[in-house]
A and B are shown apart, each in its own frame.
Chain A
Amino acid sequence: MIEVKDLHKALGEFSLHGVDLRVESGEYFVVLGPTGSGKTVLLECIAGLHRQDRGEIWLEGREVSALAPEQRNIGYVPQDYVLFPHISLQANIAFALNVRRRPPDEIEARVRELAELLHISHLLDRRPRTLSGGEQQRGALARALAPRPTLMLLDEPLSALDEGTRAELAGELRGLSGRLGTTIIHVCHNFDEALQLADRIAIIHGGRVLQVGTPGDVFRRPRSAFVARFVGAENIFPVIQRDHRANVVTVGQSLPLQVTALPDHPSLLTMIRPEEIMLRPADAPMPPFNSFHANLLEVEDRGRLMRLNLAGPLPLLVVMTPQAFRESGVAPGDQVQVHCPPEAVHLLPQDSP
């Protein structure tokens, strides 16, 4: 298990203000945050490249806070791979084992094994500068994996790659973590990437961890407005009034909505999940609560999903599959009936960081 306790670090404009994290052994953990949120500083502190101002880092029951990077046995893959340009890919992968003076036949076997695992066996004699981005990324992964690190740190490993290579490597990263059982902390700013790879996600912003949870958890139950917006949540509206006895909140121009639970926080936002909203023709029967009329302004065909823009008491976005759209019997320009089930209405505090 990797534990980061109350980590503080001021480093120019990037800083950490008391980061706490627990990552289980073998877990694929994604730290998600916008540019400047401090996620790279966090990674570099764990790797030992910066000394924290305060706080502790524990690795499998051993405190490593004061250790030099070379004493931590942590694999680190920086954002643009940074392969050693003066030696071949083979020598890059063998680097850590050469430093440890392992026997030549062991080094050769390990390099061959990793090269096969990452599909770069045919490139071993090449210099890094002659390799494509994806190939360099595989090389950097192999180089970091060679000494069997306790923990792998990946800094934006997919962001510099083209679309096809990215999807391919994402799949392989997931497979690698499963097959090798290595604990991985992966830093990125793209929620889709996190969704695809992570066992759990930590959302970091302004040097603080805002929320930790499974991808589904973070997406469906964001605990703050920032998290909600960052994971691409739509339909966020301030709560104007509320009735704690009836579990009803009022949003927009006096639209009452039934919710499942109403927190005590003084200032609330509602987030209505666009994929859980129901649409019906204007004359169809609807549940008596949380239903209202609206105009279907526009339908965007995004291939696998349709995005529907509604104007009414709330400017709503609704997402549905093409099939569900056909079955709903509504068309652009229609007046329609909208139903937001109470489970689809999520409440979150407004003034959190």
Chain B
Amino acid sequence: MTARQRASAALFRYLVTSALFVMVGVTTFTLLNMALYVKPGEFLQAALSHEIIHAVKLTAVTTTITTGIAVLLSVPAGYALSRYRFPLHNLVDALVDLPIVLPPLIAGIAMLIFFGSPLGKWIEEHIMPFVYTTQGIILAQFVPAGSFCVRAMKAAYDGVDPRLEQVARTLGCNERQTFQRVTLPLARNGLIAGMIMTWCRAAGEFGPILMFCGATRYKTEVLSIAVFLNMSIGQVEVALSATILLVLMGVAALLLFRRLGGRGIW
């Protein structure tokens, strides 16, 4: 290799790596800068305040229930999407992704309109109220997070070689036994990783909750709403403390996700 070729190879590597560092740098710098804006004492005081503890609890409860429902539906739904070819498969696939690509706000507005319709009103009166309630938060989280969960579960199943399932069939397993003995154990890490990401996604949800459940102190105040409420009344330290909690959760989840070998959801 000539000196010139070596120099050009080095330049390429330098440019590519620089771009990566710029990208990571922007995120790291802004987040760190924000975290340092709050003094440790203030952070602790705010984090341990009655309001934030309540918000953490409400977030934990709603996102866990949301994730539970999403996983319950997505474990089979993701399998169907990954393994079966049915009419309009591409359309169904696109519809699953729709809530992920739309602005989250739209899901909130759509639900608000739905519960204003006769069927929605009937559900509000005879089954349970949703608008401006904790159930509403769960529903508002579920629409985008559920889509996300199906996608994640499908990715986990896609990672399992269908030929393993074929061999299991020739060895005497019916479809259900194959799922139970081969597919599920092999997809397990991916499924757990998908579950964690779904939980994070639900915890970070803001737009649809604001639209559908409003921002009412202590009533529909999950962490993201707490950030919004406190920013709007100028309590920047409290708002930032809630933000930092959300960031820490996100980082922890991503590390756990990598650890479990999750990949290829997007």
Contacts and interface: CB of A to CB of B under 8 A. Distances in A.
Contacts of A96: 171-172
Interface string A83-123: 01110000000011001100000000000000000000000
B167 A86 contact: no
A70 B185 contact: no
Interface residues of A, number: 24
A70 B161 contact: no
A84 B164 contact: yes
A100 B170 CA distance: 12
Contact of B171 (A44, A85, A86, A147): A147
B173 interface: yes
Contacts of A143: 171
Given A84-B182, A86-B185, A86-B186, A69 B164 contact: no
A99 B171 contact: yes
Given A82-B161, A82-B163, A70 B181 contact: no
Contacts of A16: none
Contacts of B168: 84, 95
A76 B161 contact: no
A99 B171 CA distance: 8
B66 to A, nearest CB: 30
B167 A78 contact: yes
B170 A75 contact: yes
A100 B172 contact: yes
Interface string B144-185: 000000000000000001011011111111100100011001
A73 B181 CA distance: 19
A68 B169 contact: yes
A95 B169 contact: no
A15 B172 CA distance: 27
A326 B168 CA distance: 58
A349 interface: no
Given A78-B163, A82-B163, A84-B164, A69 B182 contact: no
B187 to A, nearest CB: 10
B167 A99 contact: no
Contacts of A158: none
Given A84-B182, A86-B185, A86-B186, A99 B164 contact: no
Contact of B170 (A48, A84, A85, A86): A48
A70 B182 contact: no
A85 B173 CA distance: 17
A279 interface: no
B172 A147 contact: yes
Interface in A133-151: 143-144, 147
A49 interface: yes
Contacts of A69: 166, 169-170
A74 B170 contact: yes
A320 interface: no
Interface residues of B, dominant DSSP: helix
A225 interface: no
Interface string A40-68: 00001001110000000000000000001
A49 B182 CA distance: 17
A99 B172 contact: yes
Contacts of B186: 84-86
A299 B161 CA distance: 50
A171 to B, nearest CB: 25
Nearest to A75: B170
Contacts of B174: 68, 70
Contacts of A47: 166, 170
B180 to A, nearest CB: 10
B169 to A, nearest CB: 4
Query: Which one of A48, A49, A100, A147 has the greatest number of beta carbons of chain B within 10 Å?
Result: A49
Nearest to A47: B170
Contacts of B173: 70, 99
B170 A49 contact: yes
Contact of A99 (B161, B163, B181): B181
A78 B185 CA distance: 21
Nearest to A98: B181
B37 to A, nearest CB: 47
27 contacts: A48-B170, A49-B166, A49-B170, A68-B169, A70-B169, A70-B171, A70-B172, A70-B173, A70-B174, A72-B170, A74-B170, A75-B170, A76-B166, A76-B170, A78-B167, A82-B163, A84-B182, A85-B164, A85-B186, A86-B186, A95-B171, A96-B172, A99-B172, A99-B177, A99-B181, A144-B171, A147-B172
Of all A-B residue pairs in the complex, the 8 with the closest CB atoms, nearest first, are: A69-B169, A96-B171, A76-B170, A99-B172, A69-B170, A70-B172, A82-B163, A86-B185
Interface of B: 161, 163-164, 166-174, 177, 181-182, 185-186
